[in-house]
Structures are given as C-alpha cells and as structure tokens.
Chains A and B, each alone.
Chain A
C-alpha cells in the first residue's frame, strides 16, 4: 500500500496569509494526487486533481504542485471560508489512501 504523509498536522494562520501544506507519498505516484477540503459537519470536497488541476468551481487562490513523491497545496490569500482540514489522496493505485489531514485554524 502507498502511505501518504502530510505536514504539518495543523497550522494557525490569518486571513490574507499564504498557506502551504505538503504531502509525501511512500513511493512515486507520478501526478496521481488529489486534494480535498473538509469543513466541520460536511463531507470532503475535491479541490485539486492530477496534482495541479483545479476542480471546477474552486477559487484560483488554491493551487497544487509536485510530482513523484512530493506535493504541495498552496492557498494564496487565505479567506475566512478556507479555515478547514485538508487531505491529500493518491489515485495511483488501489487501495486508495489519504494523508492524515492538516487542520488550518485561526491564529
């Protein structure tokens, strides 16, 4: 199985900040990497697929990069609605695996 490791587990930020979350795969997954946003009491929402492609309807302040084993999710200009937990997930092979999540809260 491919293990996904996110860092940090949590971070505190302010509105307007640039936030970066990293995700590392235990083996190369090319660009088969998705990012999801989860808010309390709501189901996760697909933000980015193929490591860097924005899902329809997702604001352009979200961006993703990376390939192979190392990936990054960046939020450029954090907005109040962006305080949430973010998960990476590999779509390279089954079983699908998620990172442990990164909670972004208010500084």
Chain B
C-alpha cells in the first residue's frame, strides 16, 4: 500500500522560500506524476503543479515564476520549493500521486490522483 507523507516547516517568513518534501513509502517510485495541491483555510483546492518520475514538470501558470519541483528516486522523495512567499501562500499543502488508471485507446490513458498525503499546514507570517 503506497503512502505519501508531506514534511517541512510549518512557519515560513514572508519573502522567504517554502520548502516541502513528499516521501513515498510502501513501494519504489515508479512511473507516475507527483502533484502538489494546496488549500487555504475554508477554500477550495488549488493545483500548484506536478513532476513526472522522469523529471518533467508542469506548473500552474499563476505560480510558475516561483515554483520549483524535483525528484530524488534514491530517497523515494519529491520536493516543492515556492519562493518569495506572502500571507496568501498560507495553506494546507498536499502531495498526490497521479497515475494511469484506465486505457482510453490509441496509447492514451485516463489519469487520476489516487493516493494523497495527509497534508501539512504552512503558515506564512513574521
């Protein structure tokens, strides 16, 4: 049973860089995407971006200039860095595995985020 666990500082100073790690347990990192999603208190889900186990990335255009994602397969870990944070970046941050769930045909697949971490709360404040 694959499990994901987010970790990192719960408090980040404004203008600094938020750094989080998502550790995969229960299996080796295989071929899938690892997404980062955040949720401000009382609000909806915001997709931050994703990284494939090959290292390719896709980022939310609204955050792209501040986001960096990476993967360390030797440690079974993914990381998220968000620079120049403000109070608006205060949220619960989730990592979620996105993998092929079913074939569509012609080499295409339906994907879904089928395993999520419990989430970690990050507060941006001085």
Interface positions of A (Cβ within 8 A of B): 1, 31-32, 34, 36, 38, 42-46, 49-50, 53, 55, 87, 89, 91, 94-101
Contact = CB atoms under 8 A, between A and B. Distances in A.
A49 B45 contact: no
Interface string B40-61: 0000111101100000001111
Interface of B: 35, 37, 44-47, 49-50, 58-61, 94, 96, 98, 101-102, 104, 110-114, 116-119
Closest 6 CB pairs between A and B?
Answer: A43-B116, A94-B58, A49-B112, A50-B110, A98-B45, A101-B44
A87 B58 contact: no
Chain A binding surface, main DSSP class: loop
Chain B binding surface, main DSSP class: strand
Given A43-B119, A95-B59, A101-B44, A49 B50 contact: no
A34 B116 contact: no
B45 A87 contact: yes
6 contacts: A43-B94, A44-B116, A45-B116, A50-B110, A91-B98, A96-B47
Given A43-B119, A96-B50, 10 more contacts: A34-B112, A36-B113, A43-B118, A46-B112, A46-B114, A49-B101, A50-B101, A95-B59, A96-B35, A98-B44
